[in-house]
Structure 1
Amino acid sequence: MLSSLFMLPAFVALSVQAPPPPPPPPQTPETYDNSSRATRPLTFNSDGTFQISVFNDLHFGENAWDSWGPQQDIYSVKVINEVLERESPDLVVLNGDLITGENTFLENSTVYVDQIVGPIVQRDLPFASSFGNHDYDFNISGEAILAREKRWPNSRTRSMVPGRQAGVSNYYLPVYPPECNKCGCAPEMLLWFFDSRGGFYFQELNADGTRQPQPGWVDSSVVEWFRATNARITARFGKTIPSLAFVHIPTNASLALQTEHGPNGINPNRQPGINDDYPLAQQAQGWCPDGRNDASCAYGGQDVPFMQALVRTPGLIGVFSGHDHGDTWCYKWDHLVPGMSVAGNGINLCFGQHSGYGGYGHWIRGSRQVRVSREMLKKSWEAETWIRLESGKVVGSVSLNSTYGTDVYPATPDDMTYCPTLIVGRW
């Protein structure tokens, strides 16, 4: 077994000498107040609004054996604090790549969760995660991250679809009216979370000693669960319930929309946001239709069932993704894009902001905000969204309504920030 381990890529941290864990947050799960608002069912506020702060691609845990790795994590915590000081979310979403798994040690690969959620716990906020491709590697898994999260009572992350192929973070959260916060009440909004998987299987090697890759798309078993569960909820309450969805890796529809009209197809005033990751990386990238992952195929189309399920879900306002650090726009998918087999129904496909100092790129860090209103949902399925930057500024503020895509907004500056201890030329 040892001989095969030495065939792992050099950047995978082997379980030989674990670095010291990052500093814990001021509170611990044992001392946390379980009666706090963070442990109660999600409800709209008395003013009729519900706001979500989305943090994408935090990438904690890079190179713990060097000075710049832990320093990045300190700055990432600062980003979370800066955003939460200026926003008042009712839920914090950690939308994939919480940890850079290929740099972690088996003994302490998930301790970074405590560092990530520290600012959230200190503010008595609930949080929910969707896991990303870097959250799955030889020394880390979505199951282990979930177990670490569940030490905190305000974690809402669940795993509702069993099976090796499903991934872990597939679940939904209901949001109730303010006067009703118990099971049995009719929810006024649903939040769907999907695991796009990717990365590598935990502690599994190929015959040649290389890591065993995990498929990078929402599995068909999850698609069936989504369809059946949504149908059951709709039948139970006798109405369509508006919803939002979160998944780390975007679908092929985002790539098709981005490239339909060439590199300048994302209009900076109609779809404000940066568009530096061109072309973007979508689900099933690099996989063949027959399931091979040998660099012989660009895209296998395995996310088609998921895209079909999304557009066939009435009331689904938007799908929010990360993964491509240099893209921060929203696009209304309302037509059949050339080369696609699935036509959009007007659903909004949005990227967040690269939130962490780990991971590639120097784009200014921040967090996408999403706010919905009970009164507005009674009239139409729409939401407000904007990005709060670590500088305190707000960019990309838009209304995801019936006219989004034709309305004109200010362009988003393509600003950069740098961690002072980073090695120049590392990327």
Structure 2
Amino acid sequence: MKQGYAKAKTLRFREDGTFKIVQFTDPEFYEDSEAEREMEAMMLSILEAERPDLVVYTGDVIASAGHPDPAGAFRRACEIPERAGTPWAAVFGNHDSEGTITREQLHALQLTYPLNYAKPNPPGVHGAGNYVLSVAGSDGSAAAALYFLDSGSYSPLEYSRMGFYDWIRRDQIEWYAQQSYRLTDDNGGVPLPALAFFHIPLPEYNDVWDFEVCYGERYEVICAPWINSGVFAAMIEMGDVMGTFAGHDHGNDYWGEWRGIRLCYGRTTRNAYLDRPFMPGARVISLREGERSFDTWIRLADGSAVAEQPRHEPTGRLPSQVLRK
């Protein structure tokens, strides 16, 4: 697949004008067990079936707490797209840096792989794994943008007052806006069609489920941060992001449109930890050059593709709950 594609480190739309992404989320690599070998085989089969132009890990790539060799677990995750010959990039979740390895070390490690397309951390910006990739169009200029943001891990403030999970910080939002301004200016003042990837869902994921029609399942409490830092508002103001993609909540795979932006969950790549069947898999995203829209579907472990997810009618605000994973 795509031999020699990664040498120039340039993502491109295909000749037919499409660009496909496979989102793996929450695989939580830990040990070379039978269960993980089955997960690896599933991931490779999904890549073979979809033949994407990019793989994105949206956090909790490893379960690092108590792990004697978290770097080794992360390398096993890195080898999946490398073996498939597919460009890839990752952002990190709360479980990635609970052990003896830091997010900065994980980010530096992913940059050593030939097919990894992540970029070094911008100086002075909170977190590890904030970067933007452009996708070149038929004329060689940027035709789409992909933003990657570190949504952190746990609240740095008292949990009882400020919730359990972290949020995208002000300097990250400023960095995103600067990148968006630059890309818009380079595109003649027209915002590029863009997607954003991070681990912890935004507070607006609650809003879209409660007040708009959604498609997919919500089997788990939405574990968004209690603080709304304004990243969604910034995306509205910049006018480029068409869709966001999160993980974190293993039992959720829905999407819905909120204020013109489609808020999407991935499909957990590992066990959903539910008391009901919920087959693991991946979310697939397809862009088309020159269009401000995208298609998305789910590819499951049994090889089936789910293009039409169940419709959920809005029910209004439900009592809030906090679930610690």
TM-score in terms of structure 1 length = 0.66
Read off the aligned partner of 1:366 and give its amino acid letter: G
Q: Given the alignment, which residue of 280, 285, 294 partners 1:383?
A: 294
The count of residues paired between Structure 1 and Structure 2 equals: 301
Alpha-carbon distance between aligned partners in 2 of 1:235 and 1:348, rounded to the nearest angstrom: 24
Q: Which runs of 5+ in 1 are unaligned?
A: 1-34, 181-185, 202-212, 285-298, 335-345, 398-408, 413-426
Shift of 1:93: 0.4
The SS at the match of 2:11 is coil
What is the aligned partner in structure 2 of residue 161 from structure 1? 122
Residue of structure 2 in register with 1:312 after alignment: 237
Match of 1:111 in 2: 72
CA distance in 1, matches of 2:134, 2:105: 25
Counterpart position of 1:13: none
Q: Are residue 54 (structure 1) and residue 23 (structure 2) matched?
A: yes
In the alignment, is the contact (CA less than 8 A) between 2:245 and 2:263 conserved in 1?
A: yes
Residues 255 and 281, structure 1, Cα contact 8 Å, conserved in 2: no
Per-residue displacement from partner, 1:57-93 (whole Å, max 9, x unpaired)? 01111xx4xxxx7233212212211211210100000
Q: Residues of 1 paired with 2:66 and 2:235: CA distance?
A: 34
The correspondence for 2:222, drawn from 248, 261, 280, is: 280
Tell me whether 45-54 or 362-371 shows the greater mean CA deviation. Answer: 362-371
**1:172 to 2:122 alignment:** no
8 Å Cα contact 1:135-1:199 kept in structure 2:
no
Point out the structure with max Rg over C-alpha.
1
- 8 Å CA contact 2:132–2:148 kept in 1: the answer is yes
> Which AA in structure 1 matches 2:53?
D
Partner of 1:150: 111
**Is the contact made by 1:131 and 1:197 (CA closer than 8 Å) also made in structure 2?**
yes
AA matched with 1:354: T
Contact 2:108/2:120 (8 A) holds in 1:
no
Residue 253 of structure 2 corresponds to residue 322 of structure 1: no
Q: Paired residue for 2:63?
A: 100
State how far apart, in whole Å, the 2-side matches of 1:253 and 1:200 are: 18
CA contact (8 A) 1:104 1:140 kept: no
Code of the aligned partner of 1:117: C
SS in structure 1 opposite 2:33?
A: helix
Which residue is equivalent to 2:169?
219
1:411 and 2:317 matched: no
* One-letter amino acid matched to 1:392: G
Q: What TM-score do you get using the length of structure 2 for normalisation? A: 0.85
Residue 220 of structure 1: how far off its partner (Å): 0.8
Q: Which amino acid aligns with 2:296?
A: T
Secondary structure in structure 2 of the residue aligned to 1:328? coil
Classify the secondary structure of the residue corresponding to 1:52. strand
Deviates more, 1:50-59 or 1:248-257: 248-257
1:140 partner letter: I
Counterpart pick for 1:45 among 14, 30, 33: 14
In structure 2, relative to structure 1, the CA distance for the partners of 1:351 and 1:37 (3 Å cut) is same
Deviation at 1:200, TM superposition (A): 9.0
Give the residue type in structure 1 aligned to 2:57: L
Partner of 2:304: 393
CA separation in 2, counterparts of 1:326 and 1:365? 10
Structure 2 CA distance for aligned equivalents of residues 356 and 39 of structure 1: 31
Structure 1 residue 54: Cα displacement: 0.4
Conserved in 1, the CA contact under 8 Å of 2:201 and 2:248?
yes
Aligned CA distance change for structure 1 residues 411 and 259 (closer, same or farther; 3 Å): closer
Give the drift of 1:103.
3.2
Query: Which SS does the other structure have where 2:215 is aligned?
Result: coil
Q: In the alignment, which of 331, 351, 368 is matched to residue 265 of structure 2?
A: 351
Percent identical residues: 27
CA–CA distance in structure 1, aligned partners of residues 298 and 217 of structure 2: 12
C-alpha distance in structure 1 between counterparts of 2:43 and 2:216, whole Å: 20
Offset at residue 159 of structure 1 (A) = 3.6
Q: Secondary structure at the match of 1:110?
A: helix
